[in-house]
């Protein structure tokens, strides 16, 4: 078995946490897509939920599966969010944004009242964040200035492009993948990036997840995060 099967085990465990009548945040990425597929099966079997997608790709998948969708103009909170992570610590802090949906993922996470569930395979659980480049979403006009600022913070910025053209987010923005050395403390970098004019969102989700479901070949392990206080911004 490989990572796909491990992700499926994690997704099965995570989707089992969804209850009747919940508003569910639907993440973006390969693990989230599996969770959405399995949630669609439960919906087809009679489960009544509404979904809040974090990307246009996720919205399209959910619609195809018959999962009712709702926008932030209709609801003011999300009950539970199912999402993946590019890297995650046992304290629920993560780097996200490899799929380019970090801004909408962060908004939905901030609106989640009950618990945010990370659906990952065992390779994503790390001791220190930073092996995966940190995605930063920026308005196109500001990208060169933000790249210089990231370099001054000690990072190595790389403009995300495909076939020579800029990769655009669903919001029409550019992405910078900033490589920093793995480290224990990210608060200063998170604060500095948040203050940079032109930065729309960065991929540091510090103290974000409440439950981590780690998929392995033999099944899935559910880790509940216990922290002294909530640091992830709630809307």
The catalytic residues are 105
> How much of the chain is helix, strand and coil, in % rounded to 5?
30, 30, 40
**Domains located in the chain, CATH noted:** 3-126+206-224 (3.40.50.1360), 134-201 (3.30.70.260)
Give the chain's mean pLDDT: 95
pLDDT in tens, 176-211: 999 999 999 999 999 999 999 999 999 999 999 999
pLDDT digits (tens, 9 = 90+) for 126-175: 999 999 999 999 999 999 999 999 999 999 999 999 999 999 999 999 99
- Position 227 scores a pLDDT of 72
Confidence of residue 52 (pLDDT cuts 50, 70, 90): very high
Q: What is the pLDDT of residues 94-108, one digit of tens each?
A: 999 999 999 999 999
Q: Cite the beta strand spans of the chain per DSSP E.
A: 23-26, 50-53, 78-83, 87-88, 94-95, 112-121, 134-138, 156-159, 161-162, 165-166, 174-179, 199-202, 204-205, 211-216, 219-224
Q: 47 with 20: CB under 8 angstroms?
A: yes
Q: Per DSSP, what are the bridge partners of residue 25?
A: 52, 81
For the chain, percent of residues with pLDDT exceeding 90: 94
Tell me: pLDDT of 1 over 60. no
What is the pLDDT at residue 112? 97
Place of tokens 């974000």: 208
């Amino acid at each position: 078995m490989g990572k796909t099967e491990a992700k499926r085990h994690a997704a099965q465990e995570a989707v089992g946490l969804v209850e009747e009548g919940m508003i569910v945040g639907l993440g973006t990425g390969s693990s989230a897509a599996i969770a959405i597929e399995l949630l669609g099966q439960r919906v087809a079997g009679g489960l009544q939920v509404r979904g809040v997608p974090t990307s246009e790709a996720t919205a399209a998948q959910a619609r195809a599966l018959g999962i009712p969708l709702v926008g932030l103009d209709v609801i003011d909170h999300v009950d539970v969010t199912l999402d993946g992570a590019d890297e995650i610590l046992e304290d629920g802090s993560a780097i996200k944004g490899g799929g380019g949906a970090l801004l909408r993922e962060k908004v939905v996470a901030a609106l989640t009242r009950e618990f945010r569930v990370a659906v990952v395979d065992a390779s994503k659980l790390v001791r220190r964040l930073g092996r995966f480049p940190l995605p930063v979403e920026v308005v196109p006009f500001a990208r060169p200035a933000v790249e210089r600022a990231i370099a001054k913070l000690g990072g190595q910025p790389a403009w995300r492009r495909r076939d020579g053209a800029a990769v655009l987010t669903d919001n029409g923005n550019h992405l910078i993948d900033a490589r920093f050395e793995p480290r224990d403390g990210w608060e200063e970098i998170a604060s500095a990036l948040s203050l940079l004019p032109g930065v729309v969102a960065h991929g540091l989700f510090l103290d974000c997840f409440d439950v981590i479901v780690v998929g392995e070949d033999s099944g899935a392990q559910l880790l509940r995060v216990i922290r002294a206080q909530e640091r992830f911004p709630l809307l």
